[in-house]
Amino acid sequence: MPRPITRAEAEVLELFHDSVFVRDMGGTIHFWNSASESLYGWPSQQAVGNDAVTMLKCEPAQNDEDPYTRLLADGQWQGELYRTTGSGNRCLVNARWSLRRDAAGNPIGILETAHDISSTKETEQRLKESEYRYRNLFQAMAASFWELDFTGVGVRLKALLESGVTDLESYFLEHPEVIREYLRNTRIVDLNDHSVRLFGRGDREEMLGSVDRYWPDASLQTYARCVVKSLAKQPNNIEVTRLKTIDGRELECLFTACFSKENIAKGIILIGIIDLSEQVAARHALEVMQTELAHVARISSLGEMSASIAHEINQPLAAISTYAEAGLRWLLRPEPDLKEVEIALRRIVDDAQRTDDVIKRIRSMALRRPAEEVEVALNDVIRESLQFTRHELTRNAVEPVLNLAPTLPMVRADRVLLQQVIVNLLMNAAQAMASANSPTRELTLQSRQLRNGTIEVHVIDSGPGIAPEHLEKLFESFFTTKPTGMGMGLPICRSIIEGIGGTICLANREDGRTGARITLTFPGLPASTQAV
Ligand code: ADP
């Protein structure tokens, strides 16, 4: 039985913010201050006389040796304990025990002071978890992360601003050597494993240090923009740029620099880099494939038009032979009529020129070559495409109607590909009208410029139009309603038109007549106009 707490002692212990209670060696509580009441939720009347271990469901938080053994050996113990409060909540306390002894030195009781550390522990735990998460992200992501120390640049930048430079952007454009110097003084202090794989040779240590060696000249302004944006208190700078690996290979990458206030204050910038080289290679392969496909489609449409082509060439050839015979006859007369010979020869030259034009057109369509974007006059392309398909249209009794804008800005496109689009649309329209046996076969070609500068081209036919259930599928590869169709014409048209920033849309006419209406839009070049 511990010596009872004196009144004076009790008054002092009441002043404590920590819980203080005294129990005997059997566990029975003899003193319980009001801080214990607030911490554990048991009022003093209930606590005193009760068994502390049962009431508080005491459990050590750490797995070290039994607190009682240590207490008996040393006379005191300190550690963390889980307790359960009167309302059933578990709390974690940091407790100090001191052993009270009688005059003969026998242990008679324990005085405990304790305070609640549940919330501190929880915060600590959360911090640990979030640190773990970020470390995990930093290490495990398939992106490269660098932590850069730019304190070496801070001093130089301060001096630069103090020297009166205000327009940093222009200054950096004029002084790339200053950016180089800044790069030399920006250091990688940490990076993740992916960075070592992407930029290094497997040795992390080798990669630390100046970032200078990772920066090709072409990307100097990326660094300059980071400086400008961080000074303007912008949160980040994101752009596609090029960086170099440690052994000099250049990578195209998505580069993100983050300027959080806390990091900037510490002289630190975080950088994330995603390698785009594979995507760039894949995009290139796709472009090559699209060019191939467009070429195959052109050849196939030339095949469809072979009768027309033969006709276009045969006609001037026949004329040439007729004029040559006539010329000969005029020449072989007893009195040669040189005037008539001249007329015949000139006609021969004209027709030879016509044949040559047709062959050139076919050659340009048939040739396999990479796309080449130049300034193109759309009205000219429309007229050329009509010439190309003229015989095909006549054969199918289709009447072309031209309604072209008197002036149009030029567009940037590959001439042959654009011709391919229009030819394809004209052939589709002619085939639709012919196969539906449309009584009137009108094919209108319109061009105009909208107020916002966009150029619109319409191809309108008087065929059967498109069945509603097909509207959604027209641009799907291999969708066709023709017995010998390939179903690649429209998807190729779309990829060509979208490739130059335009759009293509196929719908039914809305002017009360049946037929299809194709709308192409093109962004016009601002300062270039083509007169009709
Ligand atoms: P294909 O000509 O080989 O069928 P396309 O991709 O050029 O391939 O056309 C796909 C389908 O779109 C055609 O089979 C046809 O059903 C429809 N289509 C295209 N143009 C027209 C049109 N002017 N009128 C009606 N249907 C059309």
Place of tokens 């590909």: 417
The full length of the chain comes to 532
Is the model's pLDDT at 59 over the cut of 60? yes
Nearest CA to ligand 1 atom 13: 480
pLDDT at res. 529: 60
Tokens of 133: 């998460």
Centre of ligand 1 to C-alpha 474, Å, is 7
Q: What is the position in ligand 1's atom list of the atom closest to the CA of 461? A: 23
Report the distance separating Cα 487 and Cα 188, nearest Å: 54
The string of pLDDT tens digits covering residues 11-47 is 888 888 899 999 999 999 999 999 999 999 999 999 9
Is the model's pLDDT at 358 over the cut of 90? no
Task: Read off the pLDDT of each residue in 361-365 and give the average, rounded to a whole number.
Answer: 82
The dotted CATH code for 278-369 is 1.10.287
User: What CATH number does domain 141-275 carry, 3.30.450.20, 3.40.50.1370, 2.160.20.10, 1.10.1740.10?
Assistant: 3.30.450.20
The string of pLDDT tens digits covering residues 207-258 is 999 999 999 999 999 999 999 999 999 999 999 999 999 999 999 999 999 9
Percent of the chain with pLDDT over 90: 65
What does the DSSP 8-state code read for residue 249?
A: -
Topology given in CATH for the domain delimited by 7-122:
Beta-Lactamase (3.30.450)
Q: Where in the chain is the domain with CATH 1.10.287?
A: 278-369
Q: Where in the chain is the domain with CATH 3.30.450.20?
A: 7-122, 141-275
Q: What is the position in ligand 1's atom list of the atom closest to the CA of 482? A: 14
Tokens of 162: 């103090």
The string of pLDDT tens digits covering residues 476-487 is 988 999 988 888
| Residues framing ligand 1 (Cβ under 6 A) | 424, 428-429, 432, 461, 463, 466, 474, 479-482, 485-490, 516
pLDDT at res. 527: 60
Nearest CA to ligand 1 atom 7: 489
Is the model's pLDDT at 91 over the cut of 70? yes
Least confident of 22-31, 49-58, 126-135: 126-135
Task: Read off the pLDDT of each residue in 416-431 and give the average, rounded to a whole number.
Answer: 93
Question: How many other CB atoms are there within 10 angstroms of residue 104's CB atom?
Answer: 6
Left (φ > 0), alpha (ψ -120 to 50) or beta: where does 105 sit?
A: left
pLDDT at res. 103: 87
Percent of the chain with pLDDT over 70: 98
| Burial zone of 487 (CB within 10 Å; 0-12 exposed, 13-18 middle, 19+ buried) | middle
pLDDT at res. 412: 94
Is the model's pLDDT at 306 over the cut of 70? yes
Report the distance separating Cα 504 and Cα 516, nearest Å: 13
Least confident of 72-86, 166-180, 298-312: 298-312
Q: Do 153 and 136 meet the contact criterion of CB atoms below 8 Å apart? A: no
Q: Where in the chain is the domain with CATH 3.30.565.10?
A: 373-531
User: Which of the four pLDDT bands, split at 50, 70 and 90, describes residue 514?
Assistant: very high
Is the model's pLDDT at 149 over the cut of 90? yes
The sign of the dihedral angle between the CA atoms of 496, 502, 508, 509 is negative
Centre of ligand 1 to C-alpha 232, Å, is 55
Site to probe by mutation for ligand 1, drawn from 389, 461, 474, 519 as the one with most ligand atoms within 8 Å of Cβ, is 474
Least confident of 108-112, 136-140, 246-250, 349-353: 136-140
Task: Read off the pLDDT of each residue in 375-397 and give the average, rounded to a whole number.
Answer: 91
The sign of the dihedral angle between the CA atoms of 451, 455, 456, 457 is positive
Q: In sequence order, which residues have a C-beta less than 8 Å from that of residue 185 and are 6 or more positions away?
A: 150, 152, 153, 156, 210
pLDDT at res. 139: 75
Is the model's pLDDT at 363 over the cut of 70? yes
Site to probe by mutation for ligand 1, drawn from 389, 480, 492, 518 as the one with most ligand atoms within 8 Å of Cβ, is 480
Q: Which alpha helices (DSSP H) does 19-117 contain, by range?
A: 34-40, 44-47, 52-56, 67-74
| Burial zone of 170 (CB within 10 Å; 0-12 exposed, 13-18 middle, 19+ buried) | exposed
The string of pLDDT tens digits covering residues 460-511 is 999 999 999 999 999 998 899 998 888 888 998 998 999 899 999 999 999 9
Phi, psi dihedral angles at 504 (to 5 degrees):
-135, 140
Q: What is the position in ligand 1's atom list of the atom closest to the CA of 470? A: 16
pLDDT at res. 63: 67
Q: What is the position in ligand 1's atom list of the atom closest to the CA of 518? A: 23
Is the model's pLDDT at 136 over the cut of 80? no
Task: Read off the pLDDT of each residue in 287-295 and give the average, rounded to a whole number.
Answer: 80
Angle between helical axes of 176-184 and 220-231 (0-180°, round to 10): 80
Q: Do 392 and 366 meet the contact criterion of CB atoms below 8 Å apart? A: no
The dotted CATH code for 373-531 is 3.30.565.10
pLDDT at res. 167: 93
| Burial zone of 372 (CB within 10 Å; 0-12 exposed, 13-18 middle, 19+ buried) | exposed
Paired sense of beta strands 455-461 and 374-376, if any? unpaired
pLDDT at res. 112: 93
The gap from C-alpha 99 to its chain's centroid, in whole angstroms, comes to: 68
The gap from C-alpha 236 to its chain's centroid, in whole angstroms, comes to: 16
Nearest CA to ligand 1 atom 14: 480
pLDDT at res. 31: 92
The string of pLDDT tens digits covering residues 262-280 is 888 889 999 999 999 888 8
Kindly report the average pLDDT of the chain as a whole number.
Answer: 90
**E strands of 245-310, at which residues?**
250-258, 268-275
Nearest CA to ligand 1 atom 11: 480
